[in-house]
Structure 1
Amino acid sequence: MKVLIVGGVAAGTKTAAKLKREDRSIEVLVLTKDEDISYAGCGLPYYVGGMIASREELIVNTPQKYSGLTGVSVETGKEVIAVNAAEKTVTAQDVKSGEKTEYTYDRLVIATGASPAVLPIPGKDLLGVFKMRTPDDAVTMRSYVEEQNVKKAVVIGAGFIGLEVAENLKAKGVKVTVIDFANQLLPNIVDYEIALYIKKHLLKEGIRVITGTKGEEILGTKRVSAIRTSAGTLNCEMVVMAAGIRPNTAFLDGTGIEMFKGTIKVDSSLKTTVDDIYAVGDCAMVTNRITKEAQWSPMGSSANMEGRTLAQILAGEKKAYPGVLGTGVVKLPNLNCGRTGLTEVQAKAAGYDVITALVPTDDKAHYYPDASFFITKIIADKASHKLLGVQVLGTGAVDKMTDIAVMGINMGAVLEDFENADFAYAPPFSTAIHPFVQAVYVLLNKLNGTIVSMTPAEYLEGKAEGYKVVDVGLEPSVRGAVYVNLASVNGEIPGLEKEEKLLLVCAKGKRGYFLQNRMRYYGYKNTVVLEGSTFFNDVKAEALVEQVSAEEITRVKALGFLHDKRTPDKFNGRVITRNGKITAEEARTIAEAAEMFGSGEVTMTSRLTMEIQGVSFENIEPLREYLMQAGLETGGTGSKVRPVVSCKGTTCQYGLIDTFALSEEIHERFYHGFNTVKLPHKFKIAVGGCPNNCVKPDLNDLGIIGQKIPQISLEKCRGCKVCQIENVCPIQIAKVEDGKIAIDENLCNHCGRCVGKCPFKAIEDSITGYRVYIGGRWGKKVAQGRYLDKVFTDKNEVLDVVEKAILLFREQGITGERFADTVARLGFENVQEQLLEDGLLERKAENIAAQKHLKGGATC
């Protein structure tokens, strides 16, 4: 028998290899369009982020190695362009030469996979637009990011691939915005409330996510400069198309094979509607294991299993492919997500009477180092108690929770089957009652009425309207709620009526359940526990104006919100503007935010941040989320590197350097890069374009001033009686002495105004550089900074000096003292010597890891 397989990645190579192991006599030939076979398509984003170092690591097998291991014949660079089912022939074209070849078969397997959907929008062919399918795509993308020093990227598509690409671009230092046309990320993969939690998490991690938005045009001349979307224009240097995939099946037109939206429909033996033609992998439409309805599930895992099963069938075994659950897992920055089975929406659409529970638990013994959490949404059929699906979030092994559900669904398990499941337990691995079993317990309690609860989805829909919020946490955490100390409840609770509707809230839901149980005994009839409580939900009580606690005032100050002491609950929020320069779109967003969440007033601070006035405590998080959607952030307080200020630089007639570009680079490298590094006190940086000192670089902890150092050609000086160089020097240190122009290097401030002013070109050339001041300070106690002896001509050397100054302050400063005090105490010459050497950089890791200055000295 001759089996011809079209496609050489996961499904095709798995089918071929297993088939040869089943029956060595079968002649197996694989044709593939690519030069590579059996490559790790799912690993491509991690190559972009640098977690996978080399292209070779992505290649599971070369054609030669694969043929030697399996006995399968492989021909690469062959694109199949036609199938003649009646004649049992396939026509392939060489991708380089164009030469056509005809192949015969007894059985044909289509395993051509799928390719990223390229949106038909103007600008899609510009340099800087990428897709993610082959190793070469990943190599080209990573090279482009590194060589073009990409700072901003937009990813179109918030599915698994889009989010993985976003995470890995962020790991390369790129600011990423993800857009998706759907109203949520991971559409049809997780339910809305789970997607909303992930979206908020990504925003906090610095990845901007805009849903309900479509890309309309990619802008730029030769390279990408921006993308116009239905939500506005987003500046970027790179666009990644990850808006779904399309099956590679166009060549099958006219074959009579039944298809649905480009996917090949197959039966349980993976056979198409045409005799002797089969399909597996991302191009095939299989069935859902629960509903038995057709389902497209393009995953590398199912592609491999489909290929293995098909090989056994072709070799004569009586087997059937049972279908898929759509199981998937995705790694995000500091959060993982796993899912299997039906979502709540899908289960309802399939006709099930659905019941769900959302349960936060510890992922291992809470006292064990690195213990974290799981958030498990478990979905079941109310009548049969049959498990239908699971969605899990957590920082650790969400895959093990997902896999338990997979086995349960595969075996037709009901919830009771998990009730006393003897899962592995030891403190480093799990909790004594397994987290999955804990989630099952909550759902069983809902089914039997032991707990009456409200799901996060219901809470988002507004079903808590009319309920009084009761906070039963270890400490009060919900402003405006009635606080109840669980341990003191031994009867009726003052202030709570037995007939009124009460929403019980704690940290994760357990104490709410305990209180409900106790309140029932004492006659309270309308209590409801909020599932996930404050751990998962943004809980708000009826608005009450009350004094914000000192602890909360300190907490939100670290977010950039300073308490207006004239009010009990109003704050002014600092919006970071990267040196005072913002786009028109950002300015509109700030103005809108001020109207929506504040008093409508915006002020400027001395650090060129924009401060939204009159933000109520309840509006702080909504305001931050609104700003993050536009790529804006709040902050700029505490004992850290503060926002950088700069003058107008080259847009000023005296400007010698591009201060905006330099200060933005400092902002990214040190304001963002050191944002978690505690210092003895605040550390302020200013960048001036010339010695005019407009932004007072010499009164900051560290200042950089642009320099233009005149280069005198004495042979061209004619010693004129009226010297133009003397006349133009603003500080009058240029003098004609003994018939030649002289400039005292110790007095010259390198403003550059003399350059080009001599009619005889005595001073025509100059060197552009940077002077670095350290130890300046203004405010209650002014200190004039001193400049380092060296005038720097290399920008990167200046950036290294900035880093060394911050590291020196952290390492050798005393908690509470300003950098000026540190310099004075250590001595300027000592500090200068350290800043011009590399010892501080060599000790950086140890310095950053040290537990120092945890309190700090900054009060504003």
Structure 2
Amino acid sequence: MSKKVVIVGGVAGGASTAARLRRMDEDLEIIMLEKGEYISFANCGLPYHIGGVIEEREKLLVQTPQSMQERFKIDVRIQHQAVKINREQKFVEIKDLKSGEIYKESYDKLVLSPGAEPIKPPLPGLDFPEVFTLRNIPDTDKIKNFVDNKKPTRAVVVGGGFIGLEMAENLHERGIEVSVVEMMDQLMGSLDYEMAAMLHNHLRTKGIDLHLGDGIAAVEEADQRKIVKLQSGRTIKTDMIILSIGVSPRTELAEEAGLEIGSSKGIKVNEYLQTSDPSIYAIGDAIEVKDLVTGQAVRIPLAGPANKQGRIAADNICGRKEKYKGTQGTSIAKAFDLSIASTGVSEKKLQDLKWDYKVIHINSNNHAGYYPGAVPMMIKLIFAPENGRVLGAQIVGYDGVDKRIDVLAAAVRQEMDVFDLQELELAYAPPFGSAKDPVNMAGFAAGNLLKGVVDTAYWQELENINPEETVILDVREEVETQLGSIKDSINIPLNDLRDNLDRLDPAKEYIVYCAVGLRGYIAARIMQQNGFSKVRNLSGGYKLYKAVQDDQEQVIEDPAEAGYNSAESPEEAKQASKDMLKHSRGTVVELDACGLQCPGPIMQVYKKMEKMENGDILEVTATDPGFMQDIKAWAKNTGNTVLKIEELADKIEVTLLKGQSTTDQQGKKLAKNNASQPVQKGKSMIVFSGELDKAIASFIIANGAAAMGNQVTLFFTFWGLNILRKDGPVKADKNMMEKMFAKMMPQGSKKLPLSNMNMMGIGPQMIRGIMEKKGIDSLEELIENAVDNGVRLVACQMTMDMLGIKKEELISGVEVGGVATFLGSADESNMSLFI
């Protein structure tokens, strides 16, 4: 006589169990009970059917009762609910939901796959017909019919997990204004905050309104609309509400049967997926599993593990001893064109457990940068400090995220360490990857940290820095600082660092940063090998730091309004932009910055703009997603005009006007509205004298003017050039006359005489001593402060040629120019001085 297996639940886990049982044993009697109308449907595809991405509803139905019967000879009973289990006599009481009849079905083995149900808290107003949950096909039909027929214009999604995120996107794609309410301070709880911050900022640029750290309190009705009241007291007007707060395991049947329930409120099972009754197995969203990394008892409701559990339970029922080793929570989600993925354990979870761990962030392209379409991803790798074992990983990026998270998921499951990641031989060709894959790069960075090659600082630390002890050093190019910088940081570009180490105090600690971390690492190594023992590289660079800062400022911006800040509508502003572009008589220049990641596109824009005339148009195409925000900040700080920003499927197109035109009415309107228009203030000085007291006066005035927000230019000519000379001998190719001049002139700021009371060089020493005693910055410190404050130091090319001074003799940060350079700055200044 053949055995009988009864399966309760016919979706992911239940259907997988039934199919595997039949493949393993043709003679088994298999009965599958499903209280709903549908079996084996694609839960994860439901939001995309509502959004119209999956147009045909039938595609969501992986199997039907008829197809399961025909292919697998399974007795599928839909709208039949198991209401009671008699463990002693081994039968299940079943209710036919269509007829109301209750009958019994015996079993040899019973499999529970009841799943979970959406959480619906007992709050006022949640019984309105405009309040929906999404778990199955009927839920999907209700929401889609409402959207199709009622034409809502506003929606509130409560909950920021997978379903909430996907519903927000798909409702937005239907033309609905969407607000997301999340009680935690972040979306996607599987991510750590700084990684989620990048998601938040991306959603805001898409026009999604986020209410984080605020929960729903009630739903009320007013003026034929619903009012969502939040715990903070804020209200949101809406036409529909989607509740996606989470799911609760359906354990009632198991509890009433006396089966053991675990500490996580899921059905407790052993490694063979047997419950406390060996004849009853349990799988799917309702069970408690072992966390693969921590060993804790947890509930992780994911479709992938549910399907694998069904297969293992079936094998064990058929006598094939298979163990379920645990769940690591590998997941991925789509937010418009952004991908968010994680595997293993998060940093915040390890903090709760008080485990020791290490973390690195790297930013890497999905494939070779020179091949079109390269886009960046941020990888966070979490690993054990004692042996480098990979504990978890998170990735936020665009194309290629799925491939890397799958590799890292395998690393977590196989207990690989970060040095194993370095050695992985992954597929490479320019359209698909790089010779050093992002996973390899993560391994390299983590290995460097473990081996002490470089130490790491993190964004959380920067708020509590003591500037007396720690210096924040920005090694980006000067043009990049126009995108913003970390407060109190000083800027020395990486390529100038070796020549400026004498400006830095080796006794202090240094936190070095660049855009994404690579140049910061190089700078840290240079400093460590030149006597600086306390140097750390900022993990994730300025890009990650800025993502967190932007999120904490909660800037909400519609990309359609990018570049405009006025009381006019976005349509009027965009029309002004079109009119301005139409009437521009300037040359149109094209720039392809595709494949370049930050700061590449901005650097290319800067170089192009330098060669263009005011009124010219620059049309830029880039693939770096951060470029959309960067270009607005750059234009704001450089006095140029953003005419258009358009985000396409695989690239960003930006149209820029060199300078700011007010030649016609449209231009005046746009110049008024454009957020990138700075207030022009300038101070210009000709520094002719090479005497200490006059040099000090020049730089005190310059620093004061810079502190008041002025753009300051110091033009050094004749004897003033000696202020800018480096101390000590410098190798330079000079003729006899030039060498004579060099010996007769003071070599550097420390050798300058006083204009009065010089007294054979004693006067300057006395003045410097008094300045030190009174706490007044020395001339060298004033020069350093001026450079840090953005003061422009220009050496006169003609005078340099006359006196035989070479550029390599000048301190870092000095540019060489002619009289036109000074006159240009003087034209933009409201004060000019001759010293």
TM-score in terms of structure 2 length = 0.67
Letter paired with 1:399: D
Partner of 2:183: 181
User: Following TM superposition, by how much is the alpha carbon of 1:141 offset from its aligned partner in structure 2, in angstroms?
Assistant: 1.1
How many angstroms apart in 2 are the aligned matches of 1:459 and 1:854?
34
Post-superposition offset of 1:641 = 12
Q: CA RMSD in A?
A: 3.1
- Confirm or deny: 8 A CA contact 2:339 2:401 kept in the other structure: yes
Is the partner of 1:190 in helix, strand or coil? Answer: coil
Residue 236 (structure 1) aligns with: 238
Q: How does 1:249-398 map to 2 (within 5 A)?
A: 249-260=251-262, 262-350=265-353, 352-398=355-401
Aligned residues: 592
Checking the alignment, whether the CA contact within 8 Å between 2:272 and 2:321 is kept in structure 1 is no
Q: Please, which of 99, 102, 105 is the counterpart of residue 104 of structure 2?
A: 102
3-state SS of 2:167 partner? helix
Aligned to 2:801: none
Give the structure 2 partner of residue 11 of structure 1. 13
Equivalence for 2:540: 532
| Most deviating of 70-79 and 289-298 | 289-298
What SS does the corresponding residue of 1:376 show, helix, strand or coil? strand
| Residues in 1 aligned to 2:441 and 2:25: alpha-carbon distance in whole angstroms | 47
In structure 1, what is the Cα distance between the partners aligned to 2:654 and 2:187? Answer: 39
CA 460–172 in structure 1, closer or farther in 2 if over 3 Å, else same: farther
Work out whether residues 505 and 533 of structure 1, in 8 Å CA contact, stay in contact via their aligned partners in 2.
Answer: yes
Looking at structure 2, the residues matched to 461 and 273 of structure 1 have their Cα atoms a distance apart, in angstroms, of: 52
Q: CA deviation at 1:90?
A: 1.1
- Pairwise CA distance, 1:497: 1.6
* Mapped contact 1:378–1:391 kept (Cα < 8 A): yes
Tell me the equivalent position of 2:192: 191
C-alpha contact 1:380 1:389 (8 A) present in aligned 2: yes
The Cα of 1:249 is off from its aligned counterpart by 2.2
Query: Cα offset for 1:851?
Result: 8.2
Structure 2 residue aligned with 1:74, among 76, 82, 92? Answer: 76
What are the within-5 Å matches in structure 2 for residues 429-468 of structure 1?
429-459=432-462, 467-468=470-471
Task: Find the counterpart in structure 2 of residue 656 from structure 1.
Answer: none
1:506 maps to: 514
Query: Deviation of residue 203 (structure 1)?
Result: 1.9
1:600 aligns with: none
Structure-2 change in CA distance of 1:275 and 1:490 (3 Å): closer
CA contact (8 A) 1:454 1:530 kept: yes
What secondary structure sits across from 2:350 in the alignment?
helix
How far residue 481 of structure 1 moved from its aligned partner, in angstroms, is 3.2
Q: Which whole-Å deviations, capped at 9, do the CAs of 1:214-238 have from their partners, x for residues lacking one?
A: 1111111797511101131111111
CA distance in 2, matches of 1:370, 1:109: 48
Structure 2 equivalent of residue 403 of structure 1: 406
In 1, are the aligned partners of 2:207 and 2:559 still within 8 Å (CA)?
A: no
CA offset at residue 488 of structure 1?
2.7
Q: Which residue, out of 559, 579, 582, partners 1:680?
A: 579
- For residues 591-613 of structure 1, give each alpha carbon's deviation from its aligned partner in whole angstroms, at most 9, with x where no partner exists: xxxxxxxxxxxxxxxxxxxxxxx
Structure 2 equivalent of residue 137 of structure 1? 139
Report which stretch shifted further, 281-290 or 350-359. Answer: 350-359
What is the identity percentage for the equivalent residue pairs of Structure 1 and Structure 2? 30
Secondary structure of the structure 1 residue equivalent to 2:498:
coil
Q: 1:57 aligns with which of 56, 59, 67?
A: 59
User: Alpha-carbon deviations, 1:590-636, whole Å to 9, x = none?
Assistant: xxxxxxxxxxxxxxxxxxxxxxxxxxxxx9x589x4453xxx76986
Query: What is the deviation of 1:457?
Result: 4.2
Counterpart of 1:183 in 2: which secondary structure? coil
- Tell me: CA distance 1:274–1:458, structure 2 relative to 1, closer, same or farther (3 Å): farther
CA displacement at 1:349 relative to structure 2? 4.1
Alpha-carbon shift at residue 183 of structure 1 (Å): 2.8
The equivalent of 1:650 in structure 2 is none
Return the match for 2:495 from 487, 490, 498.
487
Distance 1:535 1:20 in 2: 53
- SS of equivalent to 1:193: helix
Contact 1:421 1:437 in 2 (8 A): yes
**1:642 Cα deviation from its structure 2 partner:** 8.2
2-structure distance, mates of 1:391, 1:463: 31
Q: Is the 8 A contact 1:218 1:224 kept in 2?
A: no
Matched letter for residue 489 of structure 1: L
1:119, CA displacement in angstroms? 1.8
Q: C-alpha separation between the residues in 1 aligned to 2:303 and 2:217?
A: 31
Matched-pair contact (CA < 8 Å) for 2:206–2:559: no
What is the rounded CA distance, in whole Å, between the counterparts of 2:298 and 2:418 in structure 1?
25
Counterpart of 1:213 in structure 2 is 214
CA distance 1:103–1:175, change in 2 (3 Å): same
Query: Where do 5+ consecutive residues of structure 1 fail to align?
Result: 541-618, 646-666, 684-700, 702-813, 817-844
Aligned mates of 2:467, 2:317 — CA distance in 1: 57
Q: In structure 1, what is the Cα distance between the partners aligned to 2:652 and 2:379?
A: 36
> How far apart, in 2, do the equivalents of 1:68 and 1:259 lie?
37
Provide the C-alpha distance between the structure 1 equivalents of 2:399 and 2:351, rounded to a whole number of angstroms.
30
Q: Which string of whole-angstrom CA distances, capped at 9 and with x for unpartnered residues, describes residues 253-274 of structure 1?
A: 3211111354211100000012
1:242 Cα deviation from its structure 2 partner: 0.4
The secondary structure found in structure 1 opposite 2:168 is: helix
Structure 2 unmatched runs, 5+: 584-614, 618-646, 662-666, 673-835
Q: Secondary structure at the match of 1:239?
A: strand
> 1:132 and 1:76 mapped to 2: Cα distance?
20
Distance 1:433 1:852, change over 3 A: closer
1:680 CA displacement: 3.3
Rounded to whole Å, the distance in 2 between the matches of 1:463 and 1:180 is 35
Could you tell me how far 1:388 is from its partner in structure 2? 0.6
Cα 1:120/1:539, change in 2 over 3 Å: closer
